[in-house]
Amino acid sequence: MESPFKGNILKGKVALITGGASGIGFEISTQFGKHGASVALMGRRKQVLDSAVSVLQSLSIPAIGFVGDVRKQEDAARVVESTFKHFGKIDILVNAAAGNFLVSAEDLSPNGFRTVLDIDSVGTFTMCSEALKYLKKGGLGRGSSGAGAIINISATLHYTASWYQIHVSAAKAAVDATTRNLALEWGTDYDIRVNGIAPGPISGTPGMSKLAPDEINNKSKDYMPLYKEGEKWDIAMAALFLVSDAGKYINGDTLIVDGGLWLSRPRHLPKEAVKQASRAIEKRSRNQPIGVPKSKL
């Protein structure tokens, strides 16, 4: 789909995107590039990074890939510094790297729980922490005029509770708290805006193929009336909006982009039954004399 934004809204900006070579992260990298940004991608798999970078370069987007694991502070520091050395500044950080798998709480080991928190929650904070000095207003970079922006990719799982995703729910709750606290501290001290995006089920992503195989997906539609899949594009447009000047007054928010899915409830009564019941009540009350209490009739 064509973007509703002007092609130059991120002109001259440099963005570092963790998990930027696949799924939602790659679409964000692509759309940021198409709107004028230079992009650095961080990921664990060299081959995946190499092919993502060559796709971006074929679109004339200045792009570079760095192998690294957000769980390792030395990797985070190296990638942030390499991005700065390569492009001369960093304006935007997107934390899209995440780990996930379905498992019942009973079968999940504490190490499995910790692994996802390490990637999603600690990894997000580590990247923010390492990128801070470059994102500050005036920054360290050439031509760095304004303060930077951070986007943390979250989820809606923890708004209520989710089957077989206790580890991810806990991890994303921590991500949202991190978003709000950094928005307060770094928004006040450095004018850095920190926001999140909570995607619903997005088609064609590793998350969907892993977490919602077709048979689960089809069943979901029965008990979640608002269930429909989004596109990676929907998330990338939300990210563009939040980091561009259009979002300049938005700080500490996590934008839900799920078509309203998390509000879904099965319809417990058909609409016609509700109409009939209210007609019956109306009829009864019309037959009662005004001002006479029911008990005296």
The distance from CA 70 to its chain's CA centroid, rounded to whole angstroms, is 17
Please classify residue 69 by burial: count the beta carbons closer than 10 Å to its beta carbon, then call 0-12 exposed, 13-18 middle and 19+ buried: middle
Q: What is the DSSP letter of 294?
A: G
Closer to ligand COA by CB, 48 or 224: give it: 48
Interacting residue with ligand COA among 62, 146, 207, 225 (CB under 6 A): 207
Quote the tokens at residue 179: 């978003």
Closer to ligand COA by CB, 112 or 146: give it: 112
Quote the tokens at residue 29: 């990298």
Integer CA distances (angstroms), 295 to 282, 288, 291, 292, in order: 19, 11, 11, 8
Closer to ligand COA by CB, 11 or 114: give it: 114
To ligand COA, the closest distance from the beta carbon of 215 in angstroms equals: 18
Binding track over 90-109 against ligand COA, x by CB under 6 A: --------xxxx-x----xx
C-alpha 41/C-alpha 47 separation (Å) is: 12
Binding track over 162-191 against ligand COA, x by CB under 6 A: ------------------------------
Closer to ligand COA by CB, 206 or 213: give it: 206
C-alpha 24/C-alpha 202 separation (Å) is: 8
To ligand COA, the closest distance from the beta carbon of 257 in angstroms equals: 15
Pairing of β 63-67 and β 149-153: unpaired
Quote the tokens at residue 126: 């580590």
Site stretch for ligand COA (CB under 6 A), options 140-148, 205-213, 259-267, 279-287? 205-213
Number of residues forming the site for ligand COA (CB under 6 A): 15
To ligand COA, the closest distance from the beta carbon of 37 in angstroms equals: 23
